[in-house]
Amino acid sequence: MLKKKLSKYKIILASGSPRRQQFLKDLDLDFEIRLKEIEEIYPTELQAEEITNFLVLLKASAFEGQLQLNDLLITSDTIVWHNNKAVGKPKDHQDAFEILKSLSNTTHQVITSVCFKTNSTSDVITEVTKVTFNALSDEVILYYLENYKPYDKAGAYGIQEWLGFVGVSKIEGSYANVMGMPTDKVYEYLSKLS
């Protein structure tokens, strides 16, 4: 359905994330992947979705002057926002353990921004989902880190993995967003393109 509507566009996903690539496949879209190395550094005064909005525009700006008339570039960024600070991907095993310990028995936000860029426009959409964890024992955290190695994930966990099944007590908002892309909002945006 959407594929036919977007047939005049060449969709480019600028993400190495297997989950984001799978989401676009699951939306039945044809797309190509183009990656550019970007240093994901943002001004320290930015808060919450200001960070993800800044980063998706930064990622999109790397393609400035390289998009053809019918190209539609999609960039995305996800952070975990907890205790008024951004929690990114863990640096190592110890960092991952400390992140999960801090998320235990609390509620945090998962914030994703998605940028849609053509050679003349840039639009950004943002989704915020609240995730509440049960109290996580050290044993549970260590088991998860040992068996699932979530070092490539913001907040050191994947909600679609074992820890999401045993540790998450409540979710308010988009489940897909916690995995890295608010697919319903992406679909809605793309549906409105002409």
Full set of structural domains in the chain with CATH: 2-191 (3.90.950.10)
Cβ-based burial of 144 (10 A; exposed 0-12, middle 13-18, buried ≥19)? buried
Beta bridge partners of 79: 111
> What is the Cα–Cα distance from 68 to 12, expressed in whole angstroms?
11
In this model, does residue 83 exceed pLDDT 80? Answer: yes
> What is the Cα–Cα distance from 59 to 144, expressed in whole angstroms?
31
In this model, does residue 130 exceed pLDDT 80? Answer: yes
13-38 pLDDT, tens digit each: 999 999 999 999 999 999 999 999 99
Catalytic residue among 77, 95, 123, 138: 77
Q: What is the pLDDT of residue 50?
A: 98
Specify whether 77 is catalytic: yes
Q: What is the pLDDT of residue 194?
A: 73
Q: Are strands 10-13 and 107-117 parallel, antiparallel or unpaired?
A: unpaired
Q: What is the pTM of this model?
A: 0.94
